[in-house]
Structure 1
Amino acid sequence: MRILLVFACASVLVPISKTQETSLNVTKLTTKNIDFAMDLYRKISSYHDSNIFFSPLCVSTAFAILSMGAEGPTRTEILKGLNLDQLEQDDHPELIPELFQQLQKNTTHDEEVQLAQGTALFVRLDLEVERAFSDQIKKYFKADIQNIDFAEPKASKTTINDYVKKRTGHRISEAVSDIDPFTQLMLINTIFFQGKWELPFDPSHTENDRFYVDKYNIVQVPMMFRDDKFYYCSDESLKVKVLRLPYKGDMAMLILLPNKGVDYTSIDDEINAERLLGWIKQMQIIKLEVQLPKFKMEQSYEMHKILPHLGISSIFENRANFSRLSKEQELKVSEVLHKAVIEVDERGTTAAAATVTGITGYSLPSTFIVNRPFFFFIYHEVTNSLLFMGRVINPTKM
């Protein structure tokens, strides 16, 4: 029997209201999720040398839901692959879903930015889902559970894609292109983000300029420009510069730009939660001329080919144990699909705490010109929850 997981994420640009309180446990959850994001990024990047964009929160939320239906080694494997196993407490079995619930409340309250997460379970007409499981995912994730006739692939595909389209502000129109009529269950998790820059770029200042993909390839891109005060730091040990671009509300984008002559692939293994949170902590406000390319990306990933490299493998095999989800025998995951889109322009972005040595705010530059491959991270500033991350090698490529 087949379970198909689909993650659909869309993102647009929005920073800094620090008035909310967040618990230590939620901070631990977001820290673990950053490290999971970087583990996942490294596996994705090992497949190709091109643009990358995904939502680690979208993926981890879906698998946290799936873990609630799993038992034994299957559940242990999922939580360990997500870096969440250390958060488990024997005397508090529902702690992890409670933390996700609290995190969602913290990140979606802000009226200045659109951020919406959604979860839906589409279930074969005669598949009986355990009442305890359905009650839990409704309670903690506000999940929708709908019966659907997978024996009618065309109609079920339309139903599911219409759901995703609505939940992602019509940014993702086709999450699934075909459906196997023997599918038993589909778990859909969506996240939609739309934010406006706190310091928008003036479109009249946008001009085509060079972007150096590598030493042999140069492309022309629309380069946005703004001269203002920004939060900035540099990490001399890693040879990168970091810029924070705030959105209106509680969200921000970090731009991580390797120094000239530094191969971005040399940085892949060095980024983790400790470094990322260290950069945020050490930033200083300075006057800068910022140049940033406009770009759009639409990326799809077959996570069932990637996740086994993170230790999540038994869910795809006959030994999978989803007895808390359903008493049906031989229930396993067949596919895990993740699709994410982002658009960054002058107005903003649409997208579906250790101290780090070597970080300095001295010898400050006067310009921050993003004209070579870079990384970016969209995060919630109160909780440090990482919503999206990406790598731009060529901003002219989708």
Structure 2
Amino acid sequence: MMMKVGLLFLLTHVCTLTPVYQTQEKSPNITDLTCKNMDFAMNLYRKIAGYHDNNIFFSPLSISTAFATLSMAAQGPTRDQILKGLNLAHLDRDKQPDIIPELFQHLQGNITQDESLKLDQSTTFFVCLKFEVESDYSDQIKKFFNADINNVDFANTKASVAMINDYIMRKTDNRVKEMVSDLDPLTQLMLINTIFFQGEWQMPFNPNHTEIQRFYIDNYNIVQVPMMLRMEDKFYTMEDFPLNAKVLKLPYRDGVSMLILLPNKGLDYTTIDDMITAERFLNWIKNLKERKLEVQLPKFKMEQSYAMHNILPDLGISSIFHDTANLTKLSKDPGLKVSEVLHKAVIKVDERGTTAAAATESGIIGYALPSSFIVNRPFFFFIYHEATNSLLFMGRVIDPTRV
């Protein structure tokens, strides 16, 4: 039976009430955007890892898309901070004010041009009734991001919670039933972004070969996990010697792949956190070589939530949380600011298939590897669109038994 992987990501922004000068340069393209998004992903990962010592999973594409949508509402230092935090400031152009949303629009079109790829993304603003939304902004985010704006009476918290949760249930096909449990009646604006991906492995694992085996969290903690097995098959792999880690590619159908980064035995995975970069990731892809391997991979499911108001200021995005926030392209009414950014992502990997909500080149070689790739200790994974090298999801598994 084909193995499927389903992912769901939800990003929620709860809100209350001039581009940097560029020298003459060529217009940025999708490759520039994906590289900047990848740098942002690695920066964000390190910030999240600084607050969490357990499993990590998030969608950098959705976060950057949601904030790119928000940046169209911002002006002055607020906009500058968002673009700098997203690592997109160098793509901004005075004479091309729509260049960044256009790039996101083109990237989304490139990723989804294969109609068989099951990747759906949506963005919706929920705005307090007392705020008058600028029609130009509403039209712009609809054009570039297919985003919607709805009015909500946040003073009626019970009805607002029900409305928002109902929206999320419909957008996720009932996979997430309660994203919001409570709301501040003073909430003025909420932005929800969802992304859903479902993929089938090109070469599925056989469920009959899955066995309970040990997974070594560290030198002192061992858990029992269902370990999937694919025997003596062709895989793309390589070894990053400076990093003391091995890389394995597991392709899905429809042009998306998972890249697994497995630190060598005895290596503390936290030593790798600061060494994962966009350049390194691209070098892994470039240097993969085909060879026969036996692969063992644990079944795992993760559901991760982050209150990102603690993390975003570390990336330089702080103005949106203060009274100095300038979101006047969304509404001319004063006082609009972000009070919270909630992020939720879910991934489930097994054999039968599920649908769930969410170094230098000289130091890298693709041969002389052992004949097995056994993922029985903490590892990192990246899910990316191959044609654009766009990083859709990334994560770290410390304990596969922890949801």
Pairwise TM-score range, normalised by the shorter structure:
over 0.9
Are the aligned partners of 2:289 and 2:367 in contact in 1 as well (CA < 8 Å)? no
Mapped partners of 2:32, 2:178: distance in 1:
34
Identity value in percent: 68
CA offsets per residue over residues 195-227 of structure 1, 9 Å max, x none?
111111000000000000000000000000002
Distance in 2 of aligned mates of 1:237 and 1:382: 27
Partner of 2:17: none
Cα deviation digits, residues 25-71 of structure 1 (max 9, x gap)? 11111111111111111111111210011111111111101110000
Distance 1:170 1:325, change over 3 A: same
Partner of 2:110: 106
- Deviation for aligned residue 1:357: 2.9
**SS at the partner of 1:249?**
coil
Number of positions where the alignment pairs a residue of Structure 1 with one of Structure 2: 378
Shift of 1:176: 1.6
* Counterpart AA for 2:398: I
Alpha carbons 2:28, 2:91 under 8 Å: kept: no
4+ aligned runs moved over 3 Å, structure 1: 347-351
After the TM superposition, which residues 199-238 of structure 1 pair with which residues of structure 2 at under 5 Å, given as runs? 199-227=203-231, 228-238=233-243
Q: 1:113 Cα shift? A: 3.0
Residue number in structure 1 paired with 2:132: 128
Q: What is the alpha-carbon distance in structure 1 between the residues aligned to residue 59 and residue 291 of structure 2?
A: 30
Aligned partner of 1:380 in structure 2 is 385
Secondary structure in structure 1 of the residue aligned to 2:362: coil
1:26 and 2:67 correspond = no
1:143 to 140, 147, 152: 147
Distance 1:112 1:345 in 2: 21
Residue 97 (str. 1) matches residue 124 (str. 2): no
- For residue 342 of structure 1, report the CA deviation from its aligned partner: 0.5
Please, what TM-score do these two structures have when normalized by structure 1? 0.92
Is the 8 Å Cα contact of residues 171 and 341 (structure 1) preserved in structure 2? no
C-alpha distance in 2, partners of 1:96/1:286? Answer: 40
Q: Mapping of 1:179-198 within 5 angstroms?
A: 179-198=183-202
**Alignment correspondent of 2:252:** 247
Gaps spanning 5+ residues in structure 2: where? 1-9, 13-26
In 2: Cα distance, 1:248 partner to 1:351 partner: 19
Secondary structure of 1:271's counterpart equals: coil
Q: Is the Cα–Cα contact under 8 Å of residues 259 and 381 in structure 2 kept in the other structure?
A: yes
Secondary structure of residue in 1 paired with 2:35: helix
**Residue 267, structure 1, aligned to residue 272, structure 2:** yes
2:45 to 18, 41, 54: 41
Question: What letter corresponds to residue 177 of structure 1 in structure 2?
Answer: S
CA distances 1:127-168 after superposition (whole Å, capped 9, x unpaired): 111122111100001112111211211111121112222222
The answer (yes or no) to whether the contact 2:73–2:327 under 8 Å persists in 1 is: yes
Conserved 8 A contact 1:278-1:356? yes
Counterpart for residue 13 of structure 1: none
**Corresponding residue to 1:344 among 345, 349, 353:** 349
Q: Is the 8 A contact 1:274 1:356 kept in 2?
A: no
Distance 1:251 1:347, change over 3 A: farther
- Give the aligned residue type for 1:382: A
Task: List runs of 5+ in structure 1 lacking aligned partners.
Answer: 1-5, 9-22
**Amino acid of the residue matched to residue 170 of structure 1?**
N
| CA contact 2:201–2:251 (8 Å) conserved in 1 | yes
Alpha-carbon distance in 2 for matches of 1:347, 1:366: 26
In the aligned structure 2, how far is the partner of 1:166 from the partner of 1:31?
A: 33
**Counterpart code for 1:286:** R
User: 1:117 corresponds to which residue?
Assistant: 121
Give the whole-Å Cα distance in 2 for the aligned partners of 1:341 and 1:118.
16
**Which residue number corresponds to residue 58 of structure 2?**
54
TM-score, with normalisation over the residues of structure 2? 0.91
Q: Could you give the per-residue CA deviations for residues 247-303 of structure 1, whole angstroms, max 9, x where no partner exists?
A: 011110000000111111111111111000110011011111000000000000001
Q: Do residues 156 (structure 1) and 170 (structure 2) align?
A: no
Q: Alignment RMSD, CA only?
A: 1.5
Q: Does 1:326 align with 2:331?
A: yes
Q: Is the 8 A contact 1:236 1:358 kept in 2?
A: yes
Structure 1: how far apart are the matches of 2:352 and 2:122? 25
CA offsets 1:115-138 (integer angstroms, 9 cap, x no match): 000011111123111122111100
* Contact in 2 for aligned 1:81/1:312 (Cα 8 Å): yes
1-structure distance, mates of 2:169, 2:285: 34
